[in-house]
Amino acid sequence: MPEYDDQNIFARILRGEIPNDTVTETEHTLVFRDIRPQAPVHLLVIPKGPYVSLDDFAANASDAELVDFMRTVAKVSRDEGVSIDAGAGFRAVANTGEHGVQEVPHFHMHILGGRVLGRMLPE
Ligand code: DGP
């Protein structure tokens, strides 16, 4: 696993060095709006801990962090009106590493919704 770079943009957001459009926050998780939205709803869900990627987070986060993260995904999907219960739906994406074209090396999950998104990848 690459070493965590504490100068990455999301680390700086977590330290309050860069402003962000926060949607919600818990003890372990922050949700804010993506600066380059690709859908009417485009959220970034990030752990507050220093995890580089989804595989790092999944392998090394505490149970409390893992549960908090996933419960926060459920909460914001409901709050933003994109949940299944709202009759909508969304896409959760975690670009990971070089092949996944991950731009920011702090684990984040994109929550995209607010319209029918089309197929996941071009064929
Ligand atoms: P990814 O390719 O999965 O690493 O996407 C990183 C996302 O982060 C991309 O959709 C744009 C977003 N992003 C980059 N810098 C900032 C920032 O300073 N603020 C916010 N809100 N989003 C950012």
**pLDDT tens digit string along 85-122?**
999 999 999 999 999 999 999 999 999 999 999 999 87
Q: What is the distance between the alpha carbons of residues 71 and 53, in angstroms, rounded to a whole number?
A: 19
Q: Is residue 122 part of a domain?
A: no
Top mutation candidate among 13, 18, 103, 111 for ligand 1, by most atoms within 8 Å of CB: 103
* pLDDT surpasses 90 at 1: no
Cβ atoms < 10 Å from Cβ of 26: 13
Q: Is residue 3 part of a domain?
A: no
Question: Which CATH number do you get for residue 79?
Answer: 3.30.428.10
Domain count of the fold of the chain: 1
Q: What is the pLDDT of residue 121?
A: 87
The H or E element containing residue 10 is helix 9-14
On whether the CB atoms of residues 107 and 94 are closer than 8 A, the answer is yes
Mean pLDDT of 74-93: 97
The catalytic residues are 108
| Ligand 1 atom closest to Cα of residue 21 | 21
On whether the CB atoms of residues 107 and 56 are closer than 8 A, the answer is yes
Ligand 1, CB within 6 Å, residue ranges: 9, 18, 20, 32-36, 95, 101-104
Q: Is residue 107 part of a domain?
A: yes
84 CA → ligand 1 middle, Å: 25
Cα 7 versus chain centre, distance? 18
Q: Which residues constitute the domain of residue 73?
A: 9-113
